[in-house]
């Protein structure tokens, strides 16, 4: 048995409000605990999107009643909510600001760079800005970090050109950090037929699965990658198999076993994982330590990933049938056993808003 600190996932979609048939604060934080994650940062691309005091209060009310692990909620950057200086308490109540600068699911996309400017100007420097940006829009986000002289965290990088540009930006002192998702480390475009089972929508995710050369470049430049994040983006299997499949993969329950399998193969060290799932996210997102919190993992337990055994409402996983080694046995969160041997043992509402 190995004992790890509680893991932090800075990028999850809990679908609350507006799409709780896919997931909600209860099911999503249960999946987190089952995956060894004790603190999640929830994205704002909900219905309605979370972009002001009223919508933040709306989601935080549900979270307070339902969450089983600790959490914070992102605000979203919209076309006309960049006057953050006029609402000083609002950013402090959030996980950070999420900016959608590229193809995504939901309504929070900012195409025109003049819409980015007030956010970069007015969002407090002590709180993170997270950019969903790909390729050239990522280069633009890094340029904004340099121009406005403030930190920017790039969500889910997937391409060789992206990791190389972030490396170069870091070498020049630009305040940029980044995260990578397990599906971009362990899957390529070539895996889409196997994931799809005849339903091509199941292979849809943003950013798209990339080439083997891209995946190799991520592994070759692990030192550039600050965090591992799931981008847990549940959509039901019926939605994924429909004519208009939304992009997104669930990931909270599979991140640790996949990474531990890579540790077992010598591709990573356990310390590489903990730096990227505890130390760095805590620093980048300015998160408190969780006292009396740990995860017990049976590193020798081999098993097969099965969506049917998961707490997620979405009913599928792109890693169905994968054989992994390393199972979360027990999670203790702030002194209470929150998960043990497949059972969630804390009630909805036990989870704490770490920004409250
Ligand atoms: C995300 C979702 O479903 O909310 N989908 C995805 O493919 N990653 C949206 C996003 O993060 O762009
Ligand atoms: Zn996302």
Q: What is the DSSP letter of 189?
A: G
Residues paired with residue 9 on neighbouring β-strands, in sequence order: 40
* Burial class of 272 by CB neighbour count within 10 A (0 to 12, 13 to 18, 19+): middle
CA of residue 24 to ligand 1 center, whole Å: 15
CA angle 140, 145, 149 (to 5 degrees): 150
The bridge status of strand 152-154 relative to strand 129-132 is parallel
Residue 34 has pLDDT above 90, yes or no: yes
- Ligand 1 neighbourhood includes 74 CB (under 6 angstroms): no
Which candidate, 320, 89, 87, places its Cα nearest to that of 203?
Answer: 320
Q: Is 341 left (phi over 0), alpha (psi -120 to 50) or beta?
A: left
Confidence of residue 104 (pLDDT cuts 50, 70, 90): low
Q: Which of 15, 21, 45 to mutate to test the pocket of ligand 1 (most atoms within 8 A of CB)?
A: 45
Dihedral (Cα; 154, 158, 160, 162), 10-degree rounding:
-20
Give pLDDT, residue 103.
67
Q: How far apart are CA 314 and CA 335, in angstroms?
A: 30
- What's the whole-number mean pLDDT along residues 256-273? 96
What's the gap between Cα 64 and its chain centre?
20
Domains and CATH numbers, the chain: 2-344 (3.20.20.140)
What is the mean predicted confidence (pLDDT) over 204-217? 98
Token pair 């208009």 in the structure block, residue: 244
Are 74 and 42 in contact by the 8 Å Cβ rule? The answer is yes
Mean pLDDT for the stretch of residues 294-321: 96
Mean pLDDT of 337-347: 98
Which ligand has the minimum distance to the alpha carbon of residue 46?
Answer: 1
Residue 11 CB–ligand 1 contact under 6 Å:
no
Percent of the chain residues topping a pLDDT of 90: 96
Q: Are 51 and 20 in contact (CB under 8 A)?
A: no
Q: What is the pLDDT of residue 109?
A: 80
- The torsion region of residue 302 among left (phi > 0), alpha (psi -120 to 50) and beta comes to beta
Query: Which of ligand 1's atoms lies nearest the C-alpha of 231?
Result: 8
Strand spans (E) along the chain: 2-5, 7-12, 37-42, 70-73, 75-76, 97-100, 129-132, 152-154, 176-180, 227-228, 294-304, 323-333, 336-340, 343-344
pLDDT digits (tens, 9 = 90+) for 221-260: 999 999 999 999 999 999 999 999 999 999 999 999 999 9
Surface-to-core class of residue 1, CB atoms within 10 Å of its CB (0-12 exposed, 13-18 middle, 19+ buried): exposed
Nearest residue to 71 via CA among 43, 26, 39: 39
Q: Is the CB of 79 under 6 A from ligand 1?
A: no
Q: State both tokens at 120.
A: 């970069």
- The mean pLDDT value of the chain amounts to 96
SS3 154: strand
Q: What is the pLDDT of residues 148-189, one digit of tens each?
A: 999 999 999 999 999 999 999 999 999 999 999 999 999 999
Would the CB of 205 count as within 6 Å of ligand 1? yes
Ligand 1 pocket member 247 (CB < 6 A): yes
pLDDT at 30 over 90: yes
- Residue 218, class by beta-carbon neighbours within 10 Å (0-12 exposed, 13-18 middle, 19+ buried)? buried
Which of 93-107, 232-246, 319-333 is predicted least confidently?
A: 93-107
Which residue's CA is the nearest one to ligand 1's atom 6?
Answer: 248
Segment 326-336 shows an average pLDDT of 98
**What is the structure's pLDDT at 111?**
79
Coil, strand or helix at 146: helix
């Amino acid at each position: 048995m190995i004992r790890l600190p509680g893991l932090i996932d800075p990028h999850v979609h809990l679908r609350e409000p507006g799409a709780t048939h896919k997931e909600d604060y209860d099911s999503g934080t249960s999946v987190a605990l089952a995956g060894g994650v004790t603190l999640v940062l929830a994205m704002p691309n909900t219905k309605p999107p979370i972009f002001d005091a009223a919508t933040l209060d709306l989601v935080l009310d549900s979270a307070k009643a339902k969450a089983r692990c600790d959490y914070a909620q992102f605000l979203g950057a919209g076309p006309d909510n960049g006057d953050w200086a006029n609402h000083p308490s609002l950013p402090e109540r959030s996980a950070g600001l999420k900016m959608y600068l590229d193809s995504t699911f939901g309504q929070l996309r900012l195409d025109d760079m003049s819409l980015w400017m007030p956010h970069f100007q007015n969002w407090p420097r002590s709180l993170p800005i997270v950019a969903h940006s790909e390729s050239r829009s990522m280069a633009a986000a890094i340029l904004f970090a340099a121009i406005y002289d403030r930190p920017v965290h790039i969500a889910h990088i997937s391409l060789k050109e992206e990791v190389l540009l972030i490396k170069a930006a870091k070498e020049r002192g630009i305040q940029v950090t980044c995260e990578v998702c397990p599906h971009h480390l362990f899957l390529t475009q070539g895996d889409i037929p196997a994931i799809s089972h005849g339903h091509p929508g199941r292979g849809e995710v943003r950013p798209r699965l990339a080439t083997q050369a891209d995946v190799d470049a991520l592994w070759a430049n692990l030192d550039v990658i600050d965090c591992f994040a799931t981008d847990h983006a549940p959509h039901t299997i019926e939605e994924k198999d429909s004519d208009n499949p939304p992009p997104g993969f669930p990931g909270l329950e599979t991140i640790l076993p996949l990474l531990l399998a890579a540790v077992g193969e010598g591709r990573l060290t356990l310390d590489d994982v903990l730096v990227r799932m505890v130390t760095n996210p805590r620093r980048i997102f300015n998160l408190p330590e969780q006292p009396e919190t740990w995860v017990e993992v049976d590193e020798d337990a081999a098993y097969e990933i099965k969506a049917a055994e998961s707490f997620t409402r979405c009913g599928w996983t792109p890693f169905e049938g994968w054989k992994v080694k390393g199972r979360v046995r027990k999670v203790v969160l702030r002194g209470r056993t929150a998960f043990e041997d497949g059972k969630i043992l804390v009630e909805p509402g036990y989870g704490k808003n770490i920004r409250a």
